[in-house]
Amino acid sequence: DAKTTQPTSMDCAEGRAANLPCNHSTISGNEYVYWYRQIHSQGPQYIIHGLKNNETNEMASLIITEDRKSSTLILPHATLRDTAVYYCIVRAPQGGSEKLVFGKGTKLTVNP
Amino acid sequence: NAGVTQTPKFRILKIGQSMTLQCTQDMNHNYMYWYRQDPGMGLKLIYYSVGAGITDKGEVPNGYNVSRSTTEDFPLRLELAAPSQTSVYFCATSRRGDTEAFFGQGTRLTVV
């Protein structure tokens, strides 16, 4: 799997948008970008994933650059409950993607 | 549906003892994973399985063993517990390698 680079930590004011960046400059053409988050002491939770088009669901939006070398997870109106570690992962759909490996992630703190 | 169930939730072991961490899923997923997470650190993949009868090593397999005799169960065995194995252990499943993963609530293990 391609490696990802994320900032160690970020802060965001409650009610504002949180924009979490991820670099994946060695991503292959068939690899998807996945985002998970881990709220303190709980198991990680899936947020969203995408290939090359922007994606949106009830939790977040995912913006992937045209060259696919980076992406941004957007939480449009961050709340205190969004304080968590956010992980960006790239995986291919077939062959060689059996391992699901997490990096160090970004610790997002939402402040009141 | 219970999803991914891990037992026990907490356990204290003495050095040299052995134990099995249980992981059961009712989602009929093929892929299952075991992770450990040390305090303040990210998740490290211990072992994974892409189907019944198939297991493979992850990033940190030493000191652990697994088996996958059924689709539903993926137990993790510690044979000779060491203080370095004090950690929180998470089990996860996914339908395929390119689909979202679901995590259990974790087992907090202390070796003294």
Q: Quote the tokens at residue B101.
A: 């993963």
**pLDDT-based confidence at B47, cuts 50/70/90?**
very high
Could you tell me how many CB contacts below 8 A there are between chain A and chain B? 65
- Amino acid letter at A81? R
Q: Which of A45, A94, A99 sits opposite B58 (nearest CB)?
A: A99
- Amino acid letter at B43? L
**So what's the pLDDT on residue B96?**
83
For A6-31, the pLDDT digits (tens) are: 999 999 999 999 999 999 999 988 88
Mean pLDDT of B48-76: 96
Residue A38: list chain B partners with CB under 8 A. 43
Alpha-carbon span B15 to B17, nearest angstrom: 6
Q: Which of B90, B96, B91 is nearest to B30 (CA)?
A: B96
Are B103 and A44 inside 8 Å of each other by CB? yes
**So what's the pLDDT on residue B46?**
96
Mean pLDDT, all residues of chain A:
91
A19 touches A37 (CB < 8 A): no
Residue A41: list chain B partners with CB under 8 A. 88, 106
- CB of A50 within 8 Å of a chain B CB? The answer is no
For A74-96, the pLDDT digits (tens) are: 999 999 999 999 999 988 766 55
Burial of B96 (0-12, 13-18, 19+ CB in 10 A): middle
Alpha-carbon span A37 to A108, nearest angstrom: 10
Give A100 or A70, the one with higher predicted confidence: A70
- For residue B63, give Cα distances in angstroms to B44, B48, B49, B60: 14, 15, 17, 9
Residue A92: list chain B partners with CB under 8 A. 97-98
